[in-house]
Structure 1
Amino acid sequence: MSSSDCGVEDVALCAKFLDALPVTGAAVSVFGGAVPETVVCATDELAARLDELQFDLGEGPRWEAVRTRIPVLEPRVREGEHPLWPVFFSALLDTEVEALYDFPLTLGALDVGIVELYSTTSGALDRTDRAKALVLANQTAWNLLDRLLRVKESTASATITEASPLSRREIHQATGMVLVQMNVTPTDALLLLRGHAFAHGKTVRTIAGDVVARRLQFTPETE
């Protein structure tokens, strides 16, 4: 998969990382919970190949980033040993890649996907670039979650009738609690509730009940 295989919106999703950061290529994948993994976009063939290799092998920095939920930055990836992903590292040596930067796409407790960046020039991202990457990753996570939910709702509109006035009041209450916990707008708080329900195969009403009963709490990611 390359940029020619992506839609206009998908191409823009990946291209903004190249526009803002000193990297050569980017790929974005979405997954998590009930969502099957899908490559949303890749700026070039090598970016797509790096994603495919790691998916096929079940190892690599992208899986490390997903597991730990923190960025994995390899500014000089050809140097040193990589015991967590030896097979991928061996394959990497046959490419022009000199640096890898993987950023997990997370929203509170939700794992949305992964952004995989590579460069054919070695070197660390400076503090400003890391901050830019984190902002872009957060924006990408919200974008993907919104798109996933729109697709889900377009194929399951009948579930709207499940909600009663009582459950709506509980959802509104839970939305208020989440917006305080996450310091987001009411719209984004509701989106988080809906995304959590979607990812875990539950109804929004059930998730709202858990929030109101304080069995579930949304907390912002801290560095």
Structure 2
Amino acid sequence: MCAELVPCRGVGVIVTSATGTTTGSYYATTDFSRRLDEMQTALGQGPSISAAAQGETVLVPDLDEAWARRVWPVFAESALADGLRGVFTFPVGTGAAVLGALTIHRSSPSPLAEGELAYGLASAGVALDLMLHTPTTDTAVTWVDGADLGAHQVEVHQAAGMVSIQLDVTVDEAYSRLRAHAFRHDMTLADVAVEVVRRRLRFTPDPQPD
């Protein structure tokens, strides 16, 4: 509904774990939005990550502005190359109960009109209701490619736990390692998690200097 009411190239929702770590794309109306949300998850930076972490709306009419490049340097460069210009993100939830963020993606630089801003805020509220009350097995709440949300999220958590043991690091550090690997190899966080859980990918500690 949000994508129909607000001119854009797509709308996406990312989900945040109980520890505050963003674990992937919850839902996206287009492959473009899903790809950009996964890019932010892999990098650990971007307007959606900031909105979810801070619990505040983040409005970026033009990602090519100097301040945006300064705040999210790696994401801005990659996203601009992918055709993103306008990014408008709304936290899904409030205070300590932020479950993720809803993001409107545009390929041209322009601010949201007053009515469009209201649609974004209202859509984030609807997303919260869906995330709280819709079973993850419901086909209405799926990834763009039709895969089930629950399976992907479970695999990401499992992978983080496995990497934590493999590297003898905290789970938060394990998430960071997974995101870094995803970005370096142009993969989604979910794809890396599958490789780890199925034991096709194992992380090893960094070599110690002589």
Instruction: Sort the TM-score into its range (normalised by shorter chain).
Output: 0.5 to 0.7
Return the alpha-carbon distance in structure 2 between the equivalents of residues 149 and 107 of structure 1.
22
Counterpart check, 1:131 vs 2:118: yes
Q: 2:6 is aligned with what amino acid? A: L
Q: How many residues in Structure 1 have an aligned counterpart in Structure 2?
A: 136
Matched, 1:18 2:3: yes
Distance in 2, matches of 1:95 and 1:108, equals 32
> Which residue identity is paired with 2:27?
C
The separation in 2 between residues aligned to 1:106 and 1:51, in whole angstroms, is: 18
Q: 2:127 aligns with which of 136, 140, 150?
A: 140
Query: Which structure would you say has the larger Rg?
Result: 1
- Partner of 2:83: helix, strand, or coil? coil
Asked if 1:121 corresponds to 2:108, the answer is yes
What residue in structure 2 maps to residue 212 of structure 1? none
Q: 2:72 maps to which residue?
A: 85
Question: Could you say if the C-alpha distance between residues 87 and 147 of structure 1 is closer, same or farther in structure 2, counting changes exceeding 3 Å?
Answer: same
Q: Deviation at 1:149?
A: 8.7
| Same amino acid, percent of matched pairs | 26
How far is 1:150 from its partner? 9.0
Q: Does the Cα contact within 8 Å between 1:112 and 1:145 map onto a contact in 2?
A: no
Please list the CA deviations of residues 156-208 of structure 1 after superposition, one character each: whole Å capped at 9, or x if unmatched.
xxxxxxxxxxxxxxxxxxxxxxxxxxxxxxxxxxxxxxxxxxxxxxxxxxxxx
Please give the TM-score of this superposition, normalised by the length of structure 2.
Answer: 0.58
Report the Cα distance in structure 1 between the residues aligned to 2:2 and 2:35, rounded to whole angstroms.
18
User: Alignment partner of 1:70: what SS?
Assistant: coil
Letter in 2 for 1:37: T
Please report how far the alpha carbon of residue 116 of structure 1 lies from its aligned counterpart in structure 2 after TM superposition: 1.8
CA distance in 2, matches of 1:87, 1:37: 19
Shift of 1:127: 1.4
SS at 1:29 equivalent: strand
Question: How high is the TM-score relative to the length of structure 1?
Answer: 0.55
Please give the root-mean-square deviation of Cα atoms over the aligned residues, in Å: 2.4
Partner of 1:33: 18
Please list every run of 5 or more consecutive structure 2 residues that lacks an aligned counterpart in the other structure.
139-210
Instruction: Mark the CA change 1:29 to 1:46 in structure 2 (over 3 Å): closer, same or farther.
Output: same
Compare 22-31 and 46-55 and name the one that shifted more: 22-31
* Alpha-carbon distance in 1 for matches of 2:116, 2:30: 21
Please list every run of at least 4 consecutive aligned residues from structure 1 whose deviation after the TM superposition is greater than 6 angstroms: none
- Correspondences of 1:179-198 after superposition (within 5 Å): none
